[in-house]
Amino acid sequence: MRRKQTARCLILQTCSPAAPWSTRRCEPPRSLSLASAACATQRTRNRTARMATTVKTTGTRRIRAEANSPVSPQQRLRVWTRRLTIVNTVMVLAVLFLLCVVSEEWWISAALGYLPRAPYLIPSLFLIPLCLVCQRSFTWANVLCTIVVLGPVMGLCAPLERDPPPDNDSRVLTVVSCNAQNGASDLHRALREIEALHPDVVALQETKWGIDMLDEFFVDWESIHVGEYWVGSRFPLRLVGELNPEAFERSSGLMVEVEAPQGTFLLANVHLNTARHGLSELQWHSPLTGAGVDDFEWHQWRRQLEAEETVALLASRATRPQLLLGDFNAPTTSSLFAGVWNGYRSAFDTTAVGYGYTAPCNTSRFWPSNTPWLRIDHILCDSTWNVHACGIGESDGSDHRLIWAQVSLKAEPADRTAQ
């Protein structure tokens, strides 16, 4: 032990800078020290290069091995599930943008607005269980797509605020509207459904035939029949006149005055032109060739002009509270409807929960019968009305389901004081 300590002390002394050169045997010359450092650095670089080469070679071999190794069916299923989920999400967001933002401002989104929307659910309903099995982290995206389709894409209605209930049930009126399709389907079935609602006022469109049957159902009622429009009421009626816009050179409605015990009001039986005539001009290759696009856009422009002229005619006769019932041939979510009829409230949007689809009921073999996908029949009211309930019929006595509403005139200030 003493020998080791003595040797260590001797080494420290000989290597100390204070010792003479003769005794500093362990310190080499400066040039030799720099050369040694350079060699050490080079050795370190060579070692690092060899390690990098080894890692690169190993990684390349691993990639080649993975590429050459067979992919399991589970891995392929996970990859395709992720890809399909991304495609489905992009598609749903694109449809939402086209239907709810662009709407009828562009011919493609306008055409999509009149097609069934429930099929957009199919990819999400297929991918949700698939994700739960093999790719759970992507399940939320398909669930979100399902909610978007069931909500705004399909036109779900869920009002947050409603009108106050009536002070007196005797003030409530039940009004019904239906496109009778000129009795081509089963007018008797449709009239039985109307009769079960015990309405006070009924407005029918497309009633050029079948008037005798109407008289049998509405005995002791007052009625007015002009052209395709029929209005019946338990209360006295007075013809105000037809609504004749110039867009299509056809009548777009009939206005009558109803002398109800709750108060006298104006009722307009409305039937606007359908988008179907313009859609029939489009072909499957229209997005590529533009075939029929000009005709469709021209028809859409005339439809908007007809609606604007009809609103102007109604405004010119707005001497009393107004109710508008009929086939508007446009959903309330479309830009055409929202931009023209924004001065009125939709009874269904105000009180009902659901979709309220009214047409078409009698479809081709490509769609289930009595399964409409559009809500184009409406009951609209001005600011003088409260809406208490609204609903849609269930039968397919026509190619449109009926729509009904329970409404009441808002009490005048004098009436409120008396109450």
Strand partners, 258: 237, 265
95 in Cβ contact with 49 (< 8 Å): no
> What is the chain's pLDDT, residue by residue, as a tens digit (419 residues)?
455 455 454 444 444 444 444 444 445 555 556 667 677 777 777 777 777 666 566 656 665 555 566 778 888 999 999 999 999 999 999 999 999 999 999 999 999 999 999 999 999 999 999 999 988 999 999 999 999 999 999 999 999 888 888 877 778 999 999 999 887 778 889 999 999 999 999 999 999 877 778 888 898 899 999 999 999 999 999 999 999 999 999 999 999 999 999 899 999 999 999 999 999 999 989 999 999 999 999 999 999 999 999 999 999 998 999 999 999 999 999 999 999 999 999 999 999 999 999 999 887 677 888 899 999 999 999 999 999 999 999 988 899 999 999 999 987 644 433 43
**In 98-151, which ranges are continuous DSSP H helix?**
107-112, 122-134, 139-148
Over the stretch 249-282, which tens digit does the pLDDT of each residue have? 999 999 999 999 989 999 999 999 999 999 999 9
Residue type, 223: S
**Chain segment 132-180, per-residue pLDDT in tens:** 998 899 999 999 999 999 999 999 999 988 888 887 777 899 999 999 9
Amino acid at 209: W
Q: What is the pLDDT of residue 411?
A: 76
Cis before residue 152, ω within 30 degrees of 0? no
Structural domains of the chain ordered from first start: 1-48 (no CATH), 73-153 (no CATH), 169-418 (3.60.10.10)
DSSP characters over 314-354: HHHT-SS-EEEEEE-SS-TTSHHHHHHSTTSEEHHHHH--B
Query: How many CA atoms within 13 Å lie on the side-chain side of 342?
Result: 7
Distances from the Cα of 386 to the Cα of 200, 265, 328, 344, 380, angstroms: 16, 14, 21, 12, 11
Provide the 8-state DSSP code for 374. B
CB 341 within 8 A of CB 272: no
Terminal-residue alpha carbon distance, the chain: 117
Which pair of structure tokens corresponds to residue 386? 């409260």
* Single pTM value for the model: 0.80
Q: Supply 195's token pair.
A: 């009769």
H or E, element range at 289: helix 286-289
Report helix, strand and coil shares of the chain as percent, to nearest 5: 45, 20, 35
Distance (Å, whole) CA 408 – CA 396:
29
